[in-house]
Each structure stands twice: as C-alpha cells, then as structure tokens.
Structure 1
C-alpha cells in the first residue's frame, strides 16, 4: 500500500476566506443583498442616518432569525433513516443563512460613516446601493469561477448577475 502525504491544515485566513466565499455563494446572500438594498431605498424617509442604519440592521436581523427558524423547523434528513436533531438543524440553518448577515455588512459600513458625519447621507445611500449591486456581480463571478468557467464567462456572469441584480433591486424598491 502506498503512503499518502498528509494534507496541510489550512490557515485561519484560508478557512475564513473559504467560509466567506461559500457564504457569499448562497441564495440567502442574494436575498439579503436585495433586502438590504430595498430597505436602504425605503429607509430614506427616516429623519437621521442613524435611524436608517438601525432600521436596516434591525429588519435584516429579524429576517435572518426568521430564516434560521424556518430552516430549523422544517429540517429533515433525506439521505438517512434517522431524524435530524434540533441542534444539528439549527447549526446548519445558521451556517446556511450566514450570507444574509454578511450581505448587510458593507452597505451598513457606509451608512454608519454617514451616521457619524464622515460621509454625506446621500453619498452614503448611493454608495451602499451600488456596493450591493457590486456584491451581486461578485457573486456571479464567484459562482462561475467555482464552476470552472473560462475567464470571459466569469466576467459575463458577473455582468449579467449585476444587471439582473439592478433590476431585482429596482423591483424591490418599487414593491416597498
């Protein structure tokens, strides 16, 4: 029997990067980005930048908790005869839904900069919205990269995902 070389343990940074790429490649992330963008657009009606930021963070947390609850409540083990424990279902739901929280971070940073007076509020709102569209384009690129598409298809996927994201965010804004 031949010996196999031990695989090196990935560094903390490599694990964090892998987690982020996986989290940003889920439907929960896309949903979170669209949700946050629509909330930013309707949040302009509030009086202060801090109120808009708190509205977005609070609403996103409520949707995330709801998403985790729903995924935990309906968990099943389709590939085994034994049921899924609540703890395991909960951990999987949190892992799966983490992208929704990550989707909020970058736009929230710009809104926080406006709340402390380092950015003009409308500049912060527009940056937060365009960052959201950019994140959707990055997701398109990452998914194409993970599917081993050639460079030009990765770029095309990023462009298409960004444009569709712009349309979906626009529809989300109109709906709210």
Structure 2
C-alpha cells in the first residue's frame, strides 16, 4: 500500500446529522494525533500551572498545541509532496488534507481548555479547574482504551483492562510532567 493510500485509510469519514457529526468527531479525536494531543495537553497542564495567572496557563497550552499542530501540518505537506502521488496534488489540497488528518491534536485540547477557561473567567477555583483539566484527559484516554478494546467477542473485562491501561498511561504522563518541572 502506497503512502497516499495509507494516508487516505486513516482519514476520518464525514457523516451527516448529529449521529454522523458525533461519529466524525470520534473518528478525528481518536487518531494517533488525537491521542498525542491528549497526552500533550495533560503534560502541558501539569507543568503549566507554575505560571503567574490562569490566562498565562491557558495561553501557554493553546499556543503550544497550535504551534505543534502547524508543525505537523507543515511536515505532512512536505513529506507528502515528496511522493509521486503527492507531486500531483495542488498545494492547497495538500494543506487541507494535512490539516484534517492532524485535527485530532486541536480537538484534544477542547475539554481541558474549557475547564481552564472557567478559572480564567472566575467561575471555578483555579486548582479545581486544573484538576478537572488533568482528569478529563485521563478520562479521554480511558474512553479511547475502552473503545479500542470494543471488538466483537471481547468481554467487558477486556474493555475495562484497555481503559485502565490507557488511563494509567495518562496518569504516568501527568506524574512525569510534574516530576520534570
């Protein structure tokens, strides 16, 4: 399978209606970029609360994720246009395709940023917001593990194990992030 075919196989399918929108969201969020984004946002949140203000933490996280996403888009376009199939694609199409393929990085920050924004506008205490942002990342990883283990014939305990392993990975990343900083 060529690079272009492999990339198409991992791109999310776009559906119609609310069920289609939910499926598209899951398809985009639960990609390798989505998992990477959840882990990244959790680590940034764990180290970010050393900034002076909640707004600085929010800016640090959003800025870091956006810069990393732009880097992924750029890298995908550069690498994709080196292939014979990629040379025949218009630059704007290559950019849009790369942006869609890596959108999971951006989606991963939505829930944690929402909770941090609640602290910025004063609706919740900053520590409550930080813990909510951290634990929602762990919960997202647990859901990803559960759904990834949801294969026909897999018993509930196999799904639970998948959820616990991926959630444990999130806890380990948060702990390592706090250790390093």
Counterpart for residue 123 of structure 1:
128
Q: Contact (CA 8 Å) 1:36, 1:104: kept in 2 or not?
A: yes
- 1:102 equivalent to 2:110? Answer no
Segments of 5+ residues of structure 1 without an aligned counterpart are 1-9
Mean Cα displacement is larger for which, 27-36 or 148-157? 148-157
For 2:158, which of 149, 153, 174 is the aligned residue?
Answer: 153
TM-score (normalizing by structure 1): 0.83
Considering only CA atoms, is the larger Rg found in Structure 1 or Structure 2? 1
Q: Name the CA shift for 1:135/1:81 in 2 (closer, same or farther; >3 Å).
A: closer
SS in structure 2 at match of 1:74: helix
- Higher alpha-carbon deviation: 93-102 or 10-19: 10-19
In structure 1, the residue corresponding to 2:80 is in which secondary structure?
coil
Distance across 2 between alignment mates of 1:87 and 1:14: 29
Aligned residues: 165
* Backbone CA RMSD of aligned residues: 2.1
What runs of 5+ residues in structure 2 fail to find an aligned partner?
Answer: 1-14
CA distance in 1, matches of 2:177, 2:77: 27
Q: Decide whether aligned partners of structure 1 residues 74 and 18 sit closer, same or farther in structure 2, where only a CA change above 3 A counts.
A: same
Equivalent of 1:143 in 133, 141, 148: 148
Post-superposition shift, 1:106? 0.4
**Counterpart in the other structure of 2:67:** 62
Normalising by structure 2, report the TM-score. 0.81
